[in-house]
Every structure is written in C-alpha cells, then in structure tokens.
Amino acid sequence: MNLMNRILLLLKLCGIWITAWIIGCLASAIQCYATAKDFIFQGVNHGNHASECAIETAVYSFAIIMPAFPILYLPVMFGLRWLLGGVKPKVVFSLVSAFLYLIPMGYIYYSRFPDFWLKALFNPEGEFHVVLLVTGLVFGLGFVWLLSKRAAQQRHAPDRE
C-alpha cells in the first residue's frame, strides 16, 4: 500500500504542476494582451500579435518546463522538505520553486549580461519569465498545501498495512 500512496502523491503533484503551469500561461497571456497596444513583440515571438504571442509562449514554456519537473523540481522540493523537517515556512517553498526555473533560464538567456536578466522580469517581452515565475510560485504553494494536508491525514489516521 505504501507504493500506491507514493504513486498517488506523484500524480497529485503532477496535477498541481499542470495547474500551476496553466495559471502561469494565463498570467503571461494577460501580460501579452495588456502590453499589445504599446508594441509588437520582438523577442521569441518575432513581431506577432498578442494572441499569437500567448499561444507560442504557452507551447514553448511547456517544452521548456516539462522535462525539468521530474529532474529538477521534485528532488529539490523533497530535499528542502527533508532539510527543513517539514513544510513550514511556507514562503520558502514558493520562493525556491520560483527561482528553480528563473535562475537557470536567466543563465541560459543572459549569461553574458546578468543585469539584463533582472530587467527582463519587468520587460513586457519577458513572457517566459512571467510563466516561469508564476508557475513556480503556484507550484510551491500547491506543494506545501498537499504535503501539509497529507501529513495531517497521517497523524489522524492509524497505519494500515
């Protein structure tokens, strides 16, 4: 039964991750539509309009984020939980989760000029950064919520083996 609980936990975490990614894409779409009147996107979206920008950002961000979830997110988040002895200070998990993507992405895009990475967070053309930041924050909150709920259930339920 322990293996089934672990598989169920991983499936729930995958659901939280996909939900967080969808919320991140929505935040990016809002940013694309809010800034579309001011300029035409020049970055990855090559002069496209807001609707095309939102769709391309969602597709590219999924391709970038998906492989890193089992490789980067889960080991670091579970390691942080082990290191802190639980999921208390909740804000730490959200911040670590957000920076897990922003720091490597910033290094990949702006390794020569690190100050551009910080400016890109507030640049309207930084739609990938918005997706990554919001996805990380929401996943961190979901991780804390799920594991604290699971710990509360384990305290109140007797072990059945």
Mean pLDDT for the stretch of residues 153-160: 68
Q: Where are the alpha helices (DSSP H) in the chain?
A: 2-35, 50-68, 74-84, 90-110, 114-120, 127-156
pLDDT digits (tens, 9 = 90+) for 1-27: 588 888 999 999 989 989 988 898 888
Q: Exposed, middle or buried: residue 8 (CB in 10 Å: 0-12, 13-18, 19+)?
A: exposed
Six token digits for residue 4: 């089934």
More confident residue, 80 or 101: 80
Q: What is the pTM of this model?
A: 0.77
Six token digits for residue 68: 């890193």
Which of 32-46, 55-69, 73-87, 108-122 has the highest average model confidence (pLDDT)? 73-87
- pLDDT > 90? residue 70: no
pLDDT digits (tens, 9 = 90+) for 111-155: 556 566 566 655 555 667 777 888 889 999 999 999 988 888 777
